[in-house]
Structure 1
């Protein structure tokens, strides 16, 4: 909403049913808001609501913001308007793959830095500018309300259970504000989520409203009218009558319908396409001529094809007919194509935009001339340490691209990387990825890892969510396997084979397979493969630096550490064994 719409009297009309998105699975809301200067000379409040549709709704949600300029600041009104408009515009411009939390946090940090920087700028009278404002943002996405709050505005949820305050005032006991945007170089934001239910009303209000109207009165006013704009105006009017001398702002958002499925619109559109049957060499699919069958498994079919329009070689990947009724598998397949269209990097296979007019469901992928790392290792069973280090660096480069897009790959293994004749690595499969934007609504319940068990980090089996540190474990497994042609903890094909706790994972030294490798390498790999993530490398750069021995001092320092610090589990196991031996000696001597 532009600044011209954030005037002394600021209102937005309730959304009528005919304006709702046509897609039956969308998150639908009605809303109404009102703002006025009240008894003050200037309205220093601002608010706005951006209602999205289609994929923008599914990936970014509906966005509501309220801001209250700090009255003691000489640019209070401009600060609040800037905060509202900037947040909505920039939040919607963040990458589609980012989670709500990452997108909002980045934007708020940037906004705060800009507001704070204005303190060194003088106005025409030589007075330094003070752009201070309280700030509360609500992102309604899926079945969740995501909250980002600083200052003394309030966000509450009103329903049949009562009036639930979702934020807390950042003020002293005497009512003095102690946190606001623009007041410091670093701002601490309260971030939280709350479940949504049909009929919930999310209320955003400034302190001039909620401090003067009781929750019981608000509920009664909401029951008396279905027009949310009239209700918001009635609430602010009551606040004024009951003694408020401040600006008056209230925004009401009612949840009319919740989405049935995540990422539903794209999945729905693409599942209307037909899965092609197994194809033979020489046949055509749309304008693609099948040249070779690269892979046909129970899960998917992969073909080398010629694009007769672009006159280039491509790879066609399509799901197997065996999974035509498997909604989760098809959703992951479609997600892979959607993600592949958004990642542009020489180390990541490109998936070209899907053809809206095609009757068939498949991906058109970049052709990579090479072989998988698994095939390469079969031909090169004892690669040099320097070669493996170079491969590891390229794998990390791929994963850093994913990290910047708030994506966790979740299935790092040799089969998912290609290597060409120039030893360049390319990631070719990302169907198991966790995309930040698509996991906002997932709960924290334990889920079995999506990837291959032998490469999955131990914490994933104990209820932890995958992240970039668990990816680092998988990279360390790949490095170990390239060096030894063995897996560090053996082949794990079933969940039942997974050790039940961290101290039962037994690392076998890489030097027991290859005597030509440096002895310090086991310290690096054992740390990268630590079952307990708190003992593992925290960053890719640390692991790669030690692997290349660039951090030689760190490796030597680790080697000099006493065993109780380097490996406390082994230390106490040794102490226990020694005590048992002493006990046996005393019993039988």
Structure 2
């Protein structure tokens, strides 16, 4: 790839980023195969060029980064193009800063985050920084301002982030499609002004699109120095000529791609150089920059290939006291179920550890093996005093298992049994720790999906620890295509939110619902809705449930604590609190309207079942009177 004619600042920043190698991201089984069991065989051809052209300085900046291995799988490849606004005094610096910072900061975000969240977070911070730098100028709009167009390629999808009048195109099956729209305001015949750009305002409004990739796609990014003088029709002709020069790569049973001999990148660069030269010959009055990317190979969605990756580590045999596993001495079987086993063990130094192993019942189940490996993968990425800590991340293993710290205590379900109708003073400190652990998952854009007392441990020192990550939904991983049929309905019915049971899209508010169920049970010793959540299978089943206020089951509960609980247990996620921290706050602070008298509310609000029963009785009586008359 080449970067031609960039101004000194942006050139240094962009080229350094292009040539730098990311540090390897360790998977749980990195010591064995170096990768997570995910499809990451996306291959992209790329080229780019930026030329000063007719202007005295080059205010454009371009950057592409295509990482290797797991980083390509979890974060994808990034292509960014920026055009510094000519009216801005720091336009050249703005575009250079935007390219280098976006690329470096995007790859620094957690690999559990989705592309949308990672990019949005980085762009919001970048925009505020540029806007802040612009305050040194008399008018911020004349400070650090530039356009921004980025394409991120991950698995089988592309993600577009766009603000300004740079453009992104897709060329597929002989047709050119403009993916972005120009954010300009036209005044008169010749005056055009940017309506949106990075650094223009403290609030940033970015266009976002998700696109499905197809093998053989071409993606072209340009600044206005090119597309103002070269029309879409001419661009389509040029891209058709580019494809005709390439020798299709094809294999038996696969679609033809565009990947060539080792000089393929040179071909992409040459196309970009010629396109820039054509724009200059067409009397372009601006800097000219473009990037060309080709989708050469998409990840293979072959379950046999994936199972081969997943099965590189064998399942451990059933273990018993006195046996050893990779130097760990098994002391006791702590838990055994159809899906897994948990053992108490000690390492060579005598430290107590817990070892979790998969069940041999699922030896041939690729989806189960993937979820077990992802369970330890996410566990290594959650760092919270209220989440069980996974150990020995980089230790070589002879079998599939993972190791956690040993916790001396009891499950929360045992604590509830021993403390029925616990006092508010006992419950709230524990709830604060539970919320802290849940929030640690949510910060990684991960939903636990199986919060229940059995998955919460309370040590004898009074510390709460969340355990069992087997049902977690990880946004960043969910974006990666797979041939596996993953379970969509996970968790325990007594504690699961309706949207989880019904198969709707889940959010952090599903964990909020589960946390409210646990809180209700801790305070009353009973499950909400008379314990009938587990029997619900349809939306109508949920609507038939009757909520009994917590203070009716435990008179020691303050009246003002029940409305927040009832709100968090709403069947509609939109009616719940925004997040778990809001629920925790409301349970600790009496709401201003908590003592609103019941008589001021309609019977429909207070007791919908009695309301409709009354309506039915009245309807029956009126029908009877009509018949008699």
Q: TM-score, normalised by structure 2?
A: 0.83
Q: Which piece of structure 1 moves more, 421-430 or 572-581?
A: 572-581
Identify the residue that residue 148 of structure 1 maps to in structure 2. 161
State the alpha-carbon separation in 1 of the partners of residues 230 and 598 from structure 2: 65
Larger RCO (alpha carbons 8 Å, 6+ apart): 2
State how far apart, in whole Å, the 2-side matches of 1:255 and 1:215 are: 21
Q: How does 1:102-501 map to 2 (within 5 A)?
A: 102-121=117-136, 130-160=143-173, 162-174=175-187, 175-225=192-242, 226=246, 227-260=267-300, 271-308=311-348, 310-355=349-394, 357-441=396-480, 448-489=488-529, 490-491=531-532, 497-500=537-540
What CA distance in whole angstroms lies between the structure 2 residues aligned with 1:534 and 1:569? 20
Kept after mapping to 2: 8 A contact 1:65/1:136:
yes
d(CA) in 2 for partners of 1:266, 1:340:
22
Cα RMSD for the two superposed structures? 3.4
Question: For residues 115-146 of structure 1, what are the alpha-carbon distances to aligned partners after superposition, in whole Å with 9 as ceiling and x for unaligned?
Answer: 111123269xx999711100011111111111
- The structure-2 alpha-carbon separation of the partners of 1:3 and 1:372, relative to structure 1 and needing over 3 Å to count, comes to farther
Q: 1:186-205, CA deviations, whole angstroms, 9 ceiling, x for partnerless residues?
A: 11111221111111111111
| Matches of 1:229 and 1:501, distance apart in 2 | 61
TM-score (norm 1): 0.89
Question: How far 1:446 sits from its partner (Å)?
Answer: 12
Task: Judge conservation of contact 1:299–1:322 (CA < 8 Å) in 2.
Answer: yes
User: Would the aligned equivalents of 1:135 and 1:149 in 2 still touch at CA under 8 Å?
Assistant: yes
Choose 323-332 or 447-456, whichever is displaced more. 447-456
Task: Specify whether residues 420 and 254 from structure 1 end up closer, same or farther in structure 2 by C-alpha distance, changes over 3 A only.
Answer: same
**Cα distance in 2, alignment partners of residues 253 and 567 from structure 1:** 60
Give 1:77's aligned residue: 92
Determine if the alignment matches structure 1 residue 88 to structure 2 residue 88. Answer: no
Unaligned 5+ segments in structure 1 are 16-20
CA contact (8 A) 1:408 1:435 kept: yes
Question: Please, which moves more after superposition, 171-180 or 447-456?
Answer: 447-456
The residue matched to 2:86 in structure 1 has which SS? coil
**Of 19, 34, 55, which aligns to 2:49?**
34
| C-alpha separation in 1, matches of 2:553 and 2:109 | 47
CA distance in 2, matches of 1:161, 1:452: 51
* Whole-angstrom distance in 2 between the partners of 1:166 and 1:565: 50
Q: Secondary structure at the match of 2:193?
A: coil
Indicate whether 1:538 and 2:538 are aligned: no
Query: Which one is further off, 552-561 or 143-152?
Result: 552-561
CA distance in structure 1 between the aligned counterparts of 2:603 and 2:60, rounded to whole angstroms: 58
- CA distance 1:2–1:500, shift in 2 (3 Å): farther
CA distance in 1, matches of 2:323, 2:140: 76
Q: Whole-Å Cα distance in 2 between the matches of residues 53 and 5 of structure 1?
A: 27
Alignment check: 8 A CA contact 2:560 2:590 kept: no
Q: Which moved more, 1:215-224 or 1:256-265?
A: 256-265
Q: Tell me the number of residue pairs that the alignment of Structure 1 and Structure 2 aligns.
A: 576
**Separation in structure 1 between the aligned mates of residue 304 and residue 429 of structure 2, nearest angstrom:** 41
Match in the other structure for 2:64: 49
Q: Contact 2:330/2:344 (CA < 8 Å) preserved in 1?
A: yes
- Secondary structure, counterpart of 2:269 in structure 1: helix
Q: Pick closer, same or farther for the CA change 1:361–1:503 going to 2, 3 Å.
A: same
C-alpha contact (below 8 Å) 2:437/2:466 kept by paired residues: yes
Q: Match of 1:526?
A: 566
User: Matched residues in 2 for 1:83 and 1:119: separation?
Assistant: 14
The Cα shift of 1:417 comes to 0.4
The CA deviation string for residues 389-425 of structure 1, in whole angstroms up to 9 with x for no partner, is: 2222221111111122211111111111001223321
The 8 Å contact of residues 310 and 369 in structure 2, kept in 1 or not, is answered as no
| In 1, Cα distance between equivalents of 2:604 and 2:55 | 63
Structure 1 residues 505-584: aligned runs within 5 Å: 505-548=545-588, 550-557=589-596, 562-563=601-602, 573=612, 576-577=615-616, 580=619, 583-584=622-623
Shift of 1:457: 1.2
Per-residue CA deviation, residues 532-552 of structure 1 (Å, 9 max, x unaligned), is 22222223233223323x133
